[in-house]
Structure 1
Amino acid sequence: MHDVVIVGAGPVGLALACELGLAGCSVLVLEREPGPGSPLRSAPLGRRGLSAASVEAFYRRGLMEPLLTASGDQEVFGTAAPAADEAGAPARPRFVGHFAGMMVDGDRVDVTALPFRLPGPAPEAVVTDLAAVETVLSGQASRLGVEIRRGVTVSAVSQHGESVVARAGTDAYEARWLVGCDGGRSTVRRLADFEFVGTEPQFTGYTMQAALAGPERLRPGFHLTPTGMYLRMPSDGHIAMMDFDGGAFDRSQPLTRDHLQTVLRRVSGTDVTIGEVRLASSFTDRAMQTTSYRRGRVLLAGDAAHIHSPLGGQGLNTGIGDAVNLGWKLAATVHGYAPDGLLDTYAAERHPIGAAVLDWTRAQVATMRPEPHAQAVQAVVRELIGTRDGATYVFERLSGSWIRYDLGSEHPLVGRSAPDFRFEDGSSLGDLMEDGRGVVLDFSTDRRLRASVTGWEGRIRYAAGRAANDLGLGAVLVRPDGVVAWAGDRQPDREGLAQAVHRWFGAAG
């Protein structure tokens, strides 16, 4: 019997498998598809943007360089060592995102207004593709002893006391826990009877790579039109479209050249002609979320727990956030040292994030509708995004910098992703987190803080020294997912640190 069976070998399932494998759990991943290769997962149609929050997750596990290599010549935003201006402020990010197809000018983003950011070697964002992400994560999973079985279609899920069984035909796979990471049409979600609620679609979206006659008639970039939206990507023949048909066409009929041409001409207002269609797929903005992320010994993560339109590239990033949040908590539960209620904090922390992402995409869809009221809103939003505060706000949402969990502390850093603190010897917080343990950073002169983690060495690393920029702190406790669990001033409260260690890491070993 395995500790955990994960259904789905996409980025979320593989990221979770890596976190569990790093913590020494026995993990089996079951994937319906017979092989990892798919044209829809490679560039251009498989192209995705990793936000700063997701980049941090790869960086903290030593996977940033392999990901950049696997991504080839796709874009990286930000600098490896951001310069400072004359006032000492961090250099601005070069990342430019969008809200409802309206671009955000990176020159207007005020990086100094973003919470607790420190320069570090990780880029602000990376444009990659699903194939590259899965290649890196599957390689890491294999090195950690995770077993991946492909061509396995789960048809039944049942729970029995201290275990759960996934069945595929005549085969049965038993584990102590099962996690569904099997996408928006999740079989696990249906079989385990999770409630899935939300809003129905407003549009059918299309993405395709095709030969175009007269492509110059389509201007590059996003374009909101009186009849919908189209996006001409830099890569040859890569077009995306949104047709506000209430989602009626999605998956209902074959994606023929004639249909794609009809939609493109309608939403673009041009007579552009489509030749050979090399690849094409459709999607909608249906926005749904499970009311709970756990039923007994079955949990959900990624698109299995929440679906929405792909506007702004939030799906992949939200799923990776789910995986790194759940991984260490489930591992602690498997190994028997999790404090009471630790696993329940997964849903408590991540469900509100998923709900907020659904609303963020709904707001964009409402703004993009081809009707006068929405077009009036577009004019207002365009003006707001053109301001420094507006551009900074949108960038904060796109980068993941807005995320803060309510951990019951008034300290403004607690609950946020930890800055990449760097010691004077050149080592950084990111370097200390590759093994998946929590970290106590002690910047104070009071080395008695070490006693607060004595007995937890297998779960928490203690690091002391002067930092290049300690943000006025004396010590910080960082959870394995990179979230600050406790922060102390120049003279840290040892008892407060000890309580935080007990709260998040259980009794001493």
Structure 2
Amino acid sequence: METEVIVIGAGPTGLMLANELTLAGVPVVVLEKRLTPSAQSRASGLQPRTAEVLDLRGMLDPLLDRSLPRGEFGGHFAGLPVELDCRPWQTRHPYPVAIPQTRLEAFLEQRLLDQGVPVLRGVEVTAIEQDSAGVTAGDIRGSYLVACDGGHSTVRKLLGVPFPGTAGTMSSVVADLTLASRSDTVPTTSEHFSRHLETANGFFTTLHPLEDDLYRFIFGKLAEVRPDRETPITTMEVNEALQAVYGSETQLGELREASRFSNATRQVEHYREGRVIFAGDAAHIHLPIGGQGVNLGIQDAVNLGWKLAATVRGWAPEGLLDSYHDERHPVAARVLRTTRAQGVIMNSAQNANLAAVRDMFTDLLRLPDANYFVSGMMSGLDTQYAGVGPRMIDLDLTTTDGPTRVSRLMHSGRGLLLSLDDTPRSIDRWSDRVDHVAAKADDSPTVLIRPDGYIAWSATDEQPLETALTRWFG
């Protein structure tokens, strides 16, 4: 089989990337070694910036129809009892969206299947060869290959790409389960993360309802435990943790799905190795806390997708594909730092002095400026790349076709010149890759927006529009 891009891994990152490439008209094949999709809920939410990104493609509304009930409360930092308030960031989506990872993956995969894009399951890649013209994985040949195959990436191992960082020092379990009986201490509604975080009898846990009788249970030992991914998770192990924290009246019903995770923290040094590119957990891993992992991967995919499509189609300006590494590597590096910090702050049982640190951080988060800083960092709303403007606010607009919003003008996955003044401008030379819309909005300058939603140029800039068009769109 021949294609343009081979995507390895049918998780959120790989499926989102394949959707972006398909939107740009680039042939893509997705290979996944698992024969069937995982039924485990795993990551349980979307951060506000990821919700905005999905809204740029018209995906958010149908995903909201698949979401779980969740109150209007903010995210958290290190499980501290202060909501992160994203409302000052001028977003339409200030609260995390509660959607299990399995539903997100099913939605993204179905979009590909509806468009005839192959998602080949039960295919394990055992050899990769690349040359100056392309990449071969098994019997599939492509111009590029993107490894989205998780923290234990086969692609990374086959190519001998280093994965520097720190090994895990703790081992935890995340499980989907039902309860045969429960004490009064078991929560019945979804609340702020801090309300679900419990410690007792040497365990830390979070237990919150998903839907019907299903719960998501995370637990581990407060003392350091050497990570061991291979040890089976037993009902006895799960029941011990349940009863240690929620009392003997709480009994496990059915253990649906379960997996182990650690606080290992690693990141590849270069996101591109010739014609092989790394994204999502294949490029970076960290303690899964604060809803960072899936969100980081989805935004990797949206940053990379249009740049890789431009390269394949032949109009990419010099350095555009390499800007994926330049922009996304520092973002992930910061997430790795913040998840390390949260892991330390959360486990005050290991150091009595950490209780004082938690109290200090809690007081800080109650200050509006500190909360604004941390909420922007955790939600991704503050992400800004070197030499690029901030994310474009989803303004209400008035066009000749009637009222609309910025996000609705970007469903094509192309760049957008949004003319908000009366100055005549022509982008005829870029009309096959940039849309041009005239509109009215309150107190906003004309802007050029990249396909990933960041401002590439503003009428207030000193450089000419043509310079920015050439830099980003060839």
CA distance in 1, matches of 2:86, 2:118: 45
- Alignment correspondent of 1:463: 437
Q: Would you say the 8 A contact 1:440–1:476 is kept in 2?
A: yes
- Alignment correspondent of 1:104: 82
Opposite residue 413 of structure 2, the aligned amino acid is G
Q: Would you say the 8 A contact 2:87–2:94 is kept in 1?
A: no
Q: Which among 101, 104, 124 is matched to residue 133 of structure 1?
A: 104
Opposite residue 81 of structure 2, the aligned amino acid is M
Q: Would you say the 8 A contact 1:228–1:368 is kept in 2?
A: no
**SS of 1:103 mapped into structure 2:** coil
- Alignment correspondent of 1:362: 340
**SS of 1:39 mapped into structure 2:** coil
How has the CA–CA distance of structure 1 residues 8 and 479 changed in structure 2, closer, same or farther, with 3 Å as cutoff? Answer: same
**SS of 2:30 mapped into structure 1:** strand
**SS of 1:184 mapped into structure 2:** coil
Deviation at 1:218, TM superposition (A): 4.8
Q: In the alignment, does 2:464 pair up with 1:488?
A: no
Q: Would you say the 8 A contact 1:204–1:245 is kept in 2?
A: no
Q: In the alignment, does 2:239 pair up with 1:261?
A: yes
Q: Would you say the 8 A contact 1:201–1:246 is kept in 2?
A: no
**SS of 2:396 mapped into structure 1:** coil
- Alignment correspondent of 2:318: 340
- Alignment correspondent of 1:88: none
- Alignment correspondent of 2:190: none
Give a deviation string over 1:332-357, Cα, whole Å, max 9, x none. 00011100010000000000011111
Q: In the alignment, does 2:418 pair up with 1:441?
A: yes
Q: In the alignment, does 2:5 pair up with 1:4?
A: yes
- Alignment correspondent of 1:46: 42
Q: In the alignment, does 2:197 pair up with 1:222?
A: yes
CA distance in 2, matches of 1:391, 1:199: 29
Opposite residue 328 of structure 2, the aligned amino acid is R
**SS of 2:164 mapped into structure 1:** strand
- Alignment correspondent of 2:119: 148
Give a deviation string over 1:168-216, Cα, whole Å, max 9, x none. xxxx111010001111111111112221011222321122224254432
- Alignment correspondent of 1:81: none
How has the CA–CA distance of structure 1 residues 144 and 57 changed in structure 2, closer, same or farther, with 3 Å as cutoff? Answer: farther
Q: In the alignment, does 2:153 pair up with 1:186?
A: yes
Gaps of at least 5 residues in structure 2 are 188-194
Q: Would you say the 8 A contact 2:165–2:265 is kept in 1?
A: yes
**SS of 2:169 mapped into structure 1:** coil
Opposite residue 275 of structure 2, the aligned amino acid is R
CA distance in 2, matches of 1:150, 1:314: 27
Q: In the alignment, does 2:133 pair up with 1:162?
A: yes
Deviation at 1:392, TM superposition (A): 2.7
Q: In the alignment, does 2:171 pair up with 1:204?
A: yes
1:340-419 equivalent positions in 2, closer than 5 A: 340-369=318-347, 370-371=349-350, 372-407=352-387, 414-419=388-393
Q: Would you say the 8 A contact 1:97–1:103 is kept in 2?
A: no
Opposite residue 453 of structure 2, the aligned amino acid is G
Deviation at 1:303, TM superposition (A): 0.6
- Alignment correspondent of 2:69: 74
TM-score using structure 2 length: 0.90
Deviation at 1:466, TM superposition (A): 1.6
How has the CA–CA distance of structure 1 residues 238 and 483 changed in structure 2, closer, same or farther, with 3 Å as cutoff? Answer: same
Q: Would you say the 8 A contact 1:222–1:230 is kept in 2?
A: yes
Opposite residue 449 of structure 2, the aligned amino acid is V
Q: Would you say the 8 A contact 2:185–2:246 is kept in 1?
A: no
Give a deviation string over 1:101-127, Cα, whole Å, max 9, x none. 113236xx3733x3xx26x5x574311
CA distance in 2, matches of 1:224, 1:388: 29
Q: Would you say the 8 A contact 2:75–2:95 is kept in 1?
A: no
Opposite residue 395 of structure 1, the aligned amino acid is S
CA distance in 2, matches of 1:256, 1:318: 31
Deviates more, 1:206-215 or 1:326-335: 206-215
CA distance in 2, matches of 1:354, 1:314: 10
CA distance in 1, matches of 2:185, 2:87: 37
How has the CA–CA distance of structure 1 residues 215 and 156 changed in structure 2, closer, same or farther, with 3 Å as cutoff? Answer: farther
Q: In the alignment, does 2:300 pair up with 1:322?
A: yes
- Alignment correspondent of 2:191: none
Deviation at 1:488, TM superposition (A): 1.9
Q: In the alignment, does 2:397 pair up with 1:423?
A: yes
Opposite residue 62 of structure 1, the aligned amino acid is G
Deviates more, 1:388-397 or 1:223-232: 223-232
Deviation at 1:13, TM superposition (A): 0.5
Q: Would you say the 8 A contact 1:443–1:466 is kept in 2?
A: yes
Give a deviation string over 1:204-254, Cα, whole Å, max 9, x none. 112222425443245661125584521121344432113245452432422
Deviation at 1:148, TM superposition (A): 1.3
Aligned residues: 456
**SS of 1:162 mapped into structure 2:** coil
- CA RMSD after TM alignment: 2.2
Opposite residue 455 of structure 1, the aligned amino acid is R
How has the CA–CA distance of structure 1 residues 203 and 311 changed in structure 2, closer, same or farther, with 3 Å as cutoff? Answer: same
Opposite residue 372 of structure 2, the aligned amino acid is T
Q: Would you say the 8 A contact 1:233–1:239 is kept in 2?
A: yes
Opposite residue 165 of structure 2, the aligned amino acid is G
Deviation at 1:385, TM superposition (A): 2.2
- Alignment correspondent of 1:83: none
- Alignment correspondent of 1:55: 51
TM-score using structure 1 length: 0.84
Give a deviation string over 1:348-401, Cα, whole Å, max 9, x none. 000001111111110011112222122221121122223333333332222211
Identity of aligned residues (%): 36
